[in-house]
Amino acid sequence: MNEKKNVTITDVAKKLKLSVATVSRALHSHPSVKESTRKRVVDMSDKMGFRINEVASSLRSNKSKTIGMIVPKIYMYFQSQIITIIQNELYKYGYNLIILQSNDSLELEKQAVETLMSFRVAGVIAAVTLYTVDFSHFDVFLNNNIPVIFYDRIPDYENDSIKVCGDDKQGGFEATRHLIEVGCKNILHISGPLQCYLYKYRSMGYKMALERSGIPFKEENLVCHELTHENAWSTLVNAFERDPSIDGIFTANDTCAIAALEFCKSHNLRVPNDVKIIGYSNDNRTAITTPSISSVEQFPNEFGIKTVSVLMQALNNEAGAPTKYVIPVKLVRRMST
Amino acid sequence: MNEKKNVTITDVAKKLKLSVATVSRALHSHPSVKESTRKRVVDMSDKMGFRINEVASSLRSNKSKTIGMIVPKIYMYFQSQIITIIQNELYKYGYNLIILQSNDSLELEKQAVETLMSFRVAGVIAAVTLYTVDFSHFDVFLNNNIPVIFYDRIPDYENDSIKVCGDDKQGGFEATRHLIEVGCKNILHISGPLQCYLYKYRSMGYKMALERSGIPFKEENLVCHELTHENAWSTLVNAFERDPSIDGIFTANDTCAIAALEFCKSHNLRVPNDVKIIGYSNDNRTAITTPSISSVEQFPNEFGIKTVSVLMQALNNEAGAPTKYVIPVKLVRRMST
DNA sequence: TTGAAAGCGCTAACAC
DNA sequence: GTGTTAGCGCTTTCAA
């Protein structure tokens, strides 16, 4: 025990024969406190090993320095990238991050909202589950003046929330147009559930590209389900059985693009000669397959930085009307196309 | 505004004409409170939209329901896997998770310790930076009775902390022995900095395997640096220039194993015919390269579950003497060997 | 089984 | 520029 435990502001005040109010002000660099006093307080605090008790501070001021985040699953490539940058950014502004996972369960997502309310977080950053269509469980934040930023998986309607999303329609469009440009005439699109904003808009881009090229959209070429390796595999089995002339595959994530590549390899379909493949997110795995897989870069860094800066604006009441911020995407061409 | 804001325990008490003390007890299922009262309180709380204010609760009881985590970088494969499971596990016990990243900077790690102290976390889970040799900045937790569990990157000496680590020596041993078994005679080991527990023990396993097979250890075949793609590449350039007879590469992470594979491909070295490669961590990328890369599975799930259960024991003072828990590893053989 | 009351450490009027 | 003081919402003795 070489360190005193839990030195309080009162201890520092006594030692310096000052009031706690002055110490508090000094620690927050309040303008009315004399510079020499401020310095004495800061020095003594360091010397005594004082650390502000954020819990007491939050309770009293009713302001917390903690941001709550709700995500489906931390380990997903895009999510882990964006969480990384968000934590680093928040740190710069002096905020901390509590992360809760919904595991793509609506029930857990609702519980997460309750938990964050209990912790009186200052703000919330959320990417909802695949199945969240009704966002009203988030209203409690807005009713309590806690800003919410939805990112990536956002509500597909106007409301009081702030949204940061990728340009999913454009991404879907560019991916599909690219396949068409390199010669595909019969393109299968493996999509996630269409009630989810991302997938809805990516598929809209897909349809738009077909239309612009005069290729008729075929209902059976748009398959929607959770984007797992297994699901993609059985979709591909069915699709190629039904129609062996498929010559392009656009998957709405990279896990499925990898599945598609493996499927083609195992069924003697040459990639890119017989079938061309493009994924979405530019997962780091896409660069190392043979052949490497084309994808759509979503710029998680820009995404995260934008999300945090928008949140900070909202916390400072500098935000204007609720807006949707769109992060551009970029086609990354590789050997699979 | 369809929801009242910040209903307090006092509001509930007034409504029921009870004291706040009884309400508090009821909410915590204190045995002395009559079941019928408990039910009335719980029902009324729900009805009024009451949520306990964890901030006030923490302040008063001096106990928090928050665990702090310090990691180098969230997005690293093994880290994101383990964070995922740790958050889910903690949730089961009613704890929340604040994550701070050191970005492998010792300075940031020290600041993270201060931040977690300020937030009066109940316990700490930490994987230190590559450069943390002196762990004394963590002492403040122990001095304040806050348990610390080090995992993965742990102190390499006896102290009062609890440690959960993989069987790195065994992993290094098995990886190297495997290369030897499949015919390698001249094995390069690309390691991280040896002051870091992980890499020290993996390299000890490497040496042990060589020794047991009567292969002399060559100093120049053990290269240490941060395990990035670029570093691995230049190491490989140098190594094969110096000694083209290298026929096996054991890298202490998978990023470098992937770099090794790419290097071999680009230098007309056939894998596994000319050179065999094995990595470490069983990163999901290793399964999808061509050829796929052998690796050492570290079981992040078991790792995370063990870490949390040990932490819970410590929080309940059920922990015995500080211990090191070792999670077994498993060789995953693929096409690169 | 319940209530009264003190106080966790801090902030922010309001006073001087 | 600094001090006094009243709580923030809750837990927890102590008393009834």
From the CA of A28, how many Å to the C1' of D1? Answer: 15
Question: Which chain A residues are Cβ-neighbours of B258 within 8 angstroms?
Answer: 288
B165: pLDDT strictly greater than 90: yes
* CATH number of this structure's domain A9-52: 1.10.260.40
What digits encode the pLDDT tens for the residues A83-128?
A: 999 999 999 999 999 999 999 999 999 999 999 999 999 999 999 9
Q: How many CB pairs under 8 A join A and B?
A: 127
Give the residue-averaged pLDDT of A150-168. 91
pTM of the predicted model, to two decimals? 0.95
Residues in chain B closer than 8 A to A5 (CB atoms): 143-145
Domains of chain B, by residue range, sit at 9-52, 61-165+300-328, 168-297
What is the band of A1 on the pLDDT scale with cuts at 50, 70, 90? very low
Q: CATH topology for A168-297? A: Rossmann fold (3.40.50)
What is the reported pLDDT for B325?
Answer: 95
Residue A6's pLDDT band (cuts 50, 70, 90): confident
Q: Minimum mean pLDDT among B229-233, B312-316, B327-331: which range?
A: B312-316
Q: What is the CATH number of domain A61-165+300-328?
A: 3.40.50.2300
Q: Nearest residue (Cα to C1') for D5?
A: A21
- Asked, as a colleague might, if the bond just before B272 is cis with ω within 30 of 0, I would say yes
In tens, the pLDDT along B21-52 reads 999 999 999 999 999 999 999 999 999 999 99
**Could you please report the per-residue DSSP string of A67-88?**
EEEEES-TTSHHHHHHHHHHHH
**Through-space separation of residue B155 CA and nucleotide C9 C1' in angstroms:** 34
pLDDT at B1: 39
pLDDT at A320: 74
Here the tokens at position B54 are 């964890």
Q: Which chain B residue has the Cα nearest residue A262?
A: B288
Comparing A72-81, A321-330, B202-211, which segment has the lowest mean pLDDT?
A321-330
Chain A residue nearest residue B90, CA to CA: A100
Q: In the prediction, which pLDDT does B2 show?
A: 40
| pLDDT in the model for residue B4 | 52
Question: What average pLDDT does chain A have?
Answer: 95
B20 CB inside 7 Å of strand C = yes
Q: What is the mean pLDDT of residues A11-33?
A: 95
- Using a CB-CB distance cutoff of 8 angstroms, which residues of chain B are in contact with residue A53? 59, 118, 120
Least confident of A65-79, A155-169, A286-300: A155-169
Q: Do domains A61-165+300-328 and A168-297 have the same CATH topology?
A: yes
pLDDT, tens digit (0-9, with 9 covering 90-100), for A249-264:
999 999 999 999 999 9
Token pair 């795995």 is found at: A285
Which chain B residues are closer than 8 Å to A98 by Cβ? 66, 96-98
Share of residues in chain A with pLDDT > 90 (%): 93
Please give residues of chain B from 29 to 68 whose alpha-adjacent beta carbon (CB) lies under 7 Å from any atom of strand C: 32-34, 37, 56, 59-60, 62
pLDDT at B147 over 70: yes
Distances (CA, A) of A274 to A191, A245, A279: 22, 9, 17
Most B CBs within 10 A among A96, A114, A264, A301, hence the mutation to make, goes to: A96
Q: In this structure, what are the phi and psi dihedrals at residue A54, rounded to the nearest 5 degrees?
A: -65, -25
The stretch A210-225 carries a mean pLDDT of: 97
Q: Does the pLDDT at position B168 exceed 70?
A: yes
To the nearest whole angstrom, how far is the Cα of B204 from the nearest Cα of chain A?
Answer: 30
* Section A229-244 average pLDDT: 97
Q: Which residue is nearest to nucleotide C9 (CA to C1')?
A: A56
The alpha-carbon gap from A166 to the nearest alpha carbon of chain B, in Å, equals 20
Indicate if the pLDDT at residue B79 is higher than 80.
Answer: yes
Over residues B268-307, the pLDDT tens digits come to 999 999 999 999 999 999 999 999 999 999 999 999 999 9
pLDDT above 60: residue A14:
yes
Query: In this complex, which of A2, A119, A139 lies closest to B96 when CB atoms are compared?
Result: A119
Are the Cβ atoms of B119 and A139 closer than 8 angstroms? no
